Amino acid sequence: MKQLRTPIVAVLGHVDHGKTTLLDRIRRSNVTAREAGGITQHIGATEVPLTVIKDICREVWNANVVIPGLLFIDTPGHKAFTNLRKRGGALADLAILIIDINEGFKPQTEEALMILKTFKTPFIVAANKIDKVPGWKSQDGSPFMKSYSLQDDVVKQRLDNKIYELIGELYQRGFSADRFDRIRDFTRNIAIVPISAMTGEGIPELLLLLTGLAQRYLESNLRLHVEGKARGTVLEVKEEKGLGLTFDAILYDGTLHVGDRIVIGGIEGVIVTHVRGIFRPRPAKEMRLESRFKSVESVTAAAGIKVVAPDIENVLAGSEFETVEGDEDIKAFEDRIQKEYQEITIETDDEGVIIRTDTLGSLEALINEFRELGIPIKKAQVGDVTKKDVIEASANRDELNRVIIGFNVKLLPGIEEEAQKYGVRIFTDQIIYSLIDNFTQWREEEKRKREKQKIESLIMPGKIQLLKNYIFRRSKPAVIGVKVLGGELRKDVKLIKPDGTPVGFVRSMQKMGEYISVAKEGDEVAVAIDGVTVGRQIEGDEVLYVDLPERHARIIERELVDTLSEGTKMALKEFLEIKRKENRFWGK
Q: Which amino acids are annotated catalytic?
A: 78
Q: How far apart are CA 26 and CA 23, in angstroms?
A: 5
Closest of 304, 408, 313 to residue 361, by C-alpha = 408
d(CA 169, CA 192) in angstroms, rounded, equals 12
Contacts of 314 (CB under 8 A, 6+ apart): 266, 267, 268, 271
* Cα 282 from Cα 286, distance rounded (Å): 9
- As a whole number of angstroms, the distance between CA 201 and CA 167 comes to 20
Give the DSSP letter string of 361-381: HHHHHHHHHHHHHT--EEEEE
- Measured CA to CA, the distance from residue 181 to residue 179 in angstroms comes to 6
User: Residues near 469 by Cβ (< 8 Å), separated by ≥ 6?
Assistant: 481
Rounded distance between C-alpha atoms, residue 6 and residue 164, angstroms: 34
Residue 15 half-sphere exposure, CB side, CA atoms within 13 Å? Answer: 17
In order of 77, 84, 266, 418, the CA distances from 107 in angstroms are 11, 16, 34, 39
Report the binding-site residues: 13-20, 74-78, 128-131
d(CA 399, CA 380): 18
Task: Return binding residues for GTP.
Answer: 13-20, 74-78, 128-131
Q: Which of 353-384 are b and which e, b meaning 16 or more Cβ less than 10 Å from the residue's Cβ? A: bbbbbbbbbbbbbbbbbbeeeebbbbbbbbbe
8 A C-beta contact, residue 271 and residue 314: yes
Angle between helices 327-344 and 360-373 (to 10 degrees): 30
Cα distance between residue 532 and residue 503, in whole Å: 6
- List CB contacts of 564: < 8 A, sequence separation 6 or more: 461, 556, 572
**By the 8 A CB rule, do 245 and 234 touch?**
no
Q: Which residues of 523-557 are buried (b: 16+ CB within 10 A; e: fewer)?
A: bebbbbbebbebeebbebeeebbbbbeeebbebbb
CA angle (17 as vertex; 152, 79 as ends), nearest 5: 150
The values of phi and psi at residue 575, to 5°, are -65, -45
β-bridge mates for residue 269, sequence order: 266
